[in-house]
Chains A and B, each alone.
Chain A
Amino acid sequence: MERIEAANIWLLIQKEIRDTGRSRWFIIFSLAFIGLALALAWLGLAGIGSLGIGGFSRTAASMVNLVLLMVPLMGLVMGAMNLSSERERGYLLYLLSQPISMTEAILGKYAGLSLSMLATLLLGFGASGLVMVLIGGTAEINSYISLVLFAFLLAMISLSVGTLIAVLARGSSAAIGLALFIWLGFVFLADLGIMGTAIVLKMDIGTLLTSAIMNPLQVFKIASVLQLQGNLEVLGPAGIYAFRTYGNALLPLLTLLLILWILIPLLISIGVSNRRGGV
């Protein structure tokens, strides 16, 4: 395997940031996210009489749901569309005819998209946080910052899975379709499936928890709630079981799971592309 050159990756990161800044999809997604984040901040404060006490917690809890819905949609679609559309147009072929490797191309594009999504998250969380700081003070801001970090990990997971979809799918339409289906699966079908299976098979609580954390969105939710609340009572028996079983090791364990969800699809994408030849 040829040596990976940081300069090539950095150049592609810059290219991706420039391209996503001009992408209509990305701009629409970002504006929607920022608008909804601001709306949640305003609603969170309105609900407590604008005193700010508990404003961050309340808004952060609402933001968890916004992130769960929007960030995977954005990441999966952007990840799937980026590589597949460039391959379809022949641009990827031209890029790879230059002194650059497939691994560098995937890593550079992935990192560029990740940083673009980080910018969107920072703008959304930042605007919403600023409103709360200006009106209500800075209580519980640490939990809010950790939520941004978990949201970024979720964005990176979505992009990683999206990249794998692009590598495996034949065309950009198929890639986008598959990305939307997987988003639907992560957001709705997985939960319903686990609930249904748990009832039919009378699953024990440990198996139920294991099944739930197979879904990266659930891992994000558990980690975020744990960080915001300090316990998992709000998640019911499975949450209490997880907290009692793993104790202080739970948060590092969940973070590790999120990181594995980033690395595994990305490494498979690189492996498959290199074996196949990329174009």
Chain B
Amino acid sequence: MLQVRDLTKNYGKLTALDRVSFDIPAGQSVALWGPNGAGKTTVMRCMLGLLRFQGEIQLAGYNVTTEGKKARKHVGFVPQELSFQSEWTVLETVEFFSRLKKAGQVNFTSILQQAGLSDHRKANFGELSGGMKQRLALAIALLADPEILMLDEPTSNLDPQGREGFIQILNELLVQGKTILFSSHRYEEVAELANRTLVLRQGVLEADCTPDELHKHLGAATRLRIYVDVDQFAHAVEILRNAGLRADPNGKGVHVEVSPDKKGEPFNILSNAGIRIFNFDLEQEWKDNNGED
């Protein structure tokens, strides 16, 4: 369904993508994973024919360089930052893109209902919340029933509840047979949605693996900042270190590094030691293969 061959993109002397190649068969859900600046968005823009590049990309059998319009007819795209015309109503926006995509007879009431936007059909786009905007973008991407969905950091502007709902919708679309390519730097998102992960680092495709293998490949770590009572601060650090975790005092909290699939471990350790945790923050961390940040 998607073929990328030797994709190279240079901005002057800077090489943003260096001979990236991969195939995605129909019905697969693939995550493009990497830190900021790895080239995830550039890959997507090249795949949509929005940037000039070296190499070859085929979407649904069409070369995006020479048959960009035909290729894009088979793709629904959800960008990272949504920027429809803010003065347009939700209905106007959907109608416009439906005509642009030549979606034919479209039941707008049903589409807005599915997106949970029936009550907001006359609201201006600028008045919608982040979650509503994202659902609208997905509804528009699905007009004309494309085989391929491309989503650039689709949940980056959503709260945890909104994120969960959005991932659920995408999983349903996957069951319906859509091919999904999405970029993300959230391990949970990749684990819940992707069959396969393409790991990008500094424009190079570093690994092509399953989500389960992801942290092994890269040594990606999650950093937790755990807040405990001040008088138990030093004790908490000591207990965590004794349990083999890398823990350091940091401001009013304790920084702990854990593997992405074992984030509950420090909580269990501290709880068993009778130390009360009253808050925590989650930070995704990246390491090089040698284990350094």
Query: Which A positions have Cβ atoms within 8 angstroms of B?
Result: 2, 7-8, 11, 15, 19, 22, 89-91, 93-101, 275-279
**B96 on the interface (CB 8 Å rule)?**
yes
Whether A89 pairs with B83 at a CB distance below 8 angstroms is yes
Chain B residues lying within 8 Å of A276, measured Cβ to Cβ, are 52
**B283 on the interface (CB 8 Å rule)?**
no
Report B250 CB to chain A, min CB distance, Å: 36
**B206 on the interface (CB 8 Å rule)?**
no
Partner pick for B69 among A90, A94, A101, A275, CB 8 A cutoff: A101
Whether A19 pairs with B99 at a CB distance below 8 angstroms is no
Whether B84 pairs with A94 at a CB distance below 8 angstroms is yes
Query: Which B residues, 10 to 53, have Cβ-Cβ distances below 8 Å to chain A?
Result: 45, 48-52
Chain B residues lying within 8 Å of A279, measured Cβ to Cβ, are 45, 50-51
Whether B50 pairs with A99 at a CB distance below 8 angstroms is no
Query: Which B residues, 67 to 114, have Cβ-Cβ distances below 8 Å to chain A?
Result: 67-70, 72-73, 75, 77, 79, 81-85, 87, 96-97, 99-102
Whether B99 pairs with A11 at a CB distance below 8 angstroms is yes
Chain B residues lying within 8 Å of A19, measured Cβ to Cβ, are 85, 87
Partner pick for B52 among A93, A101, A277, CB 8 A cutoff: A277
Whether A99 pairs with B73 at a CB distance below 8 angstroms is yes
**Closest CB pairs A-B (n = 4):** A90-B83, A97-B77, A277-B52, A89-B83
Partner pick for A90 among B68, B72, B79, CB 8 A cutoff: B79
Q: Given A22-B87, A99-B72, A100-B69 in contact, is the A93-B50 Cβ separation under 8 Å? A: yes
Whether A2 pairs with B69 at a CB distance below 8 angstroms is yes
Interface size of B by Cβ–Cβ distance < 8 Å?
Answer: 28
Partner pick for A94 among B52, B83, B87, CB 8 A cutoff: B83
Whether B96 pairs with A15 at a CB distance below 8 angstroms is yes
CA distance A267 to B196 in the complex (A): 44
Query: Which B positions have Cβ atoms within 8 angstroms of A?
Result: 45, 48-52, 66-70, 72-73, 75, 77, 79, 81-85, 87, 96-97, 99-102
Interface majority SS on B: helix, strand, loop or mixed? loop
Q: Given A2-B68, A19-B85, A94-B84 in contact, is the A100-B100 Cβ separation under 8 Å? A: yes
Report A147 CB to chain B, min CB distance, Å: 34
Q: Which of B48, B50, B99, B102 neighbours the largest number of chain A CB atoms within 10 Å of its CB?
A: B50
Whether B96 pairs with A11 at a CB distance below 8 angstroms is yes
Chain A residues lying within 8 Å of B68, measured Cβ to Cβ, are 2, 101
Q: Given A99-B102, A277-B52, A278-B50 in contact, is the A93-B79 Cβ separation under 8 Å? A: yes
CA distance A33 to B139 in the complex (A): 42
Chain A residues lying within 8 Å of B102, measured Cβ to Cβ, are 7, 99
Q: Given A8-B100, A97-B48, A97-B79 in contact, is the A91-B84 Cβ separation under 8 Å? A: yes
Chain B residues lying within 8 Å of A278, measured Cβ to Cβ, are 50
Report B73 CB to chain A, min CB distance, Å: 4
Chain A residues lying within 8 Å of B48, measured Cβ to Cβ, are 96-97
CA distance A15 to B88 in the complex (A): 10
CA distance A269 to B97 in the complex (A): 25
CA distance A8 to B84 in the complex (A): 18
Chain B residues lying within 8 Å of A8, measured Cβ to Cβ, are 100
CA distance A95 to B82 in the complex (A): 11
Chain A residues lying within 8 Å of B75, measured Cβ to Cβ, are 97
Whether B101 pairs with A98 at a CB distance below 8 angstroms is yes
Partner pick for A98 among B66, B81, B100, CB 8 A cutoff: B100
Whether A275 pairs with B77 at a CB distance below 8 angstroms is no
Whether A11 pairs with B100 at a CB distance below 8 angstroms is yes
Chain B residues lying within 8 Å of A7, measured Cβ to Cβ, are 102
Q: List 12 A-B contacts (CB under 8 A).
A: A15-B96, A91-B85, A93-B50, A97-B50, A97-B72, A97-B77, A98-B100, A99-B102, A276-B52, A277-B49, A277-B50, A279-B50
Report A20 CB to chain B, min CB distance, Å: 12
User: Nearest CB to that of B72 among chain A residues?
Assistant: A99
User: Nearest CB to that of B81 among chain A residues?
Assistant: A90
CA distance A96 to B99 in the complex (A): 14
Report B53 CB to chain A, min CB distance, Å: 8
CA distance A99 to B77 in the complex (A): 11
Report A171 CB to chain B, min CB distance, Å: 15
CA distance A100 to B70 in the complex (A): 9
Whether B73 pairs with A91 at a CB distance below 8 angstroms is no
Q: Given A2-B67, A94-B84 in contact, is the A99-B79 Cβ separation under 8 Å? A: no
User: Nearest CB to that of B74 among chain A residues?
Assistant: A99
Chain A residues lying within 8 Å of B69, measured Cβ to Cβ, are 2, 99-101
Report B260 CB to chain A, min CB distance, Å: 30
Report A93 CB to chain B, min CB distance, Å: 6
Whether A275 pairs with B52 at a CB distance below 8 angstroms is yes
CA distance A100 to B45 in the complex (A): 15
Q: Which of A93, A278, A279 neighbours the largest number of chain B CB atoms within 10 Å of its CB?
A: A93
Report A260 CB to chain B, min CB distance, Å: 29
Report B48 CB to chain A, min CB distance, Å: 5
User: Nearest CB to that of B144 among chain A residues?
Assistant: A99
User: Nearest CB to that of A98 among chain B residues?
Assistant: B100
CA distance A91 to B79 in the complex (A): 10
